Chain A
Amino acid sequence: MRLSQCEPGCGRHGLGLGGVAELLLSGLYYMQYSGAMSEVLWRMPQPDERPQADLGDGLTVADVAEALERPATLQFQQRGELQRAYIAPAADGRLVSILLFRNDDSFVWRVRAARLASAAEAEIWSRRGD
């Protein structure tokens, strides 16, 4: 299991005392709990999976992947309990808004919707460093 797959406070992996000590010593627990930068696993829904992702404004899966994998400094990221939303540029510079969900029983986020960012969202993105 990758630590980065855990949500803060996740207790489902039954870390023993040794495991907890190892995490604390490594400093990784602090990174995770404090909300510092960590890895988020994502994928597109499989062809037989429902719901499929809604891609608007002519966006492709490649556009979405490029926007999601931009450096965090180029992204505006928002996170709720089971949903994440991103504003980030695709490779051609178009600003994309993306919505992802995950299920209670999974660490992996699935793309649910993506479209070009609105003017107001572009404004939010431009102030991401404030």
Chain B
Amino acid sequence: MTQVPDFRAMTQDELATWFMNNDASALFASGNRTHDTAVQVDTEDQPTSQLVSLRIPSDVVARIDAAAGRDREGRSGIIRQALSEWLERHGEAEAA
């Protein structure tokens, strides 16, 4: 039987090395379970993106999803790219 390490006695480097080279079920079974929302921040601790909700006609969503396919960024990526291209053509020039 594999011995469970004492995670609290390990340094961060030791724990990271152990994590990379072992099944970490014991770690996942320790501590507390949480259901938090992860928000990516920059070096100034500011969120790198914001969640925006908007209504889009269902048929357009279906076409976006079809176009997204297995694209890594999916539906959100296509919408982000479309908005960036639109801003490049219109918004940023007008704002400047």
Contact = CB atoms under 8 A, between A and B. Distances in A.
Interface of A: 4-5, 35-43, 46, 51, 54, 56, 62, 65-66, 68-69, 72-73, 75-87, 91-92, 97, 99, 101, 107-108, 112-113, 115, 118-121, 124
Given A42-B38, A69-B40, A79-B33, 9 more contacts: A41-B40, A73-B35, A77-B35, A78-B32, A83-B31, A92-B72, A112-B16, A121-B23, A121-B24
A69 B33 CA distance: 17
Given A80-B30, A87-B28, A40 B36 contact: yes
B86 interface: no
Contact of B45 (A41, A56, A78, A86): A41
A118 B24 contact: yes
Contacts of B42: 43
The 8 closest A-B pairs by CB, nearest first: A118-B23, A80-B31, A72-B35, A120-B25, A68-B38, A40-B36, A113-B16, A77-B34
A39 B43 contact: no
B27 A37 contact: no
B37 A78 contact: no
B20 A113 contact: yes
B6 to A, nearest CB: 12
A72 B40 contact: no
Contacts of B16: 51, 54, 99, 101, 112-113
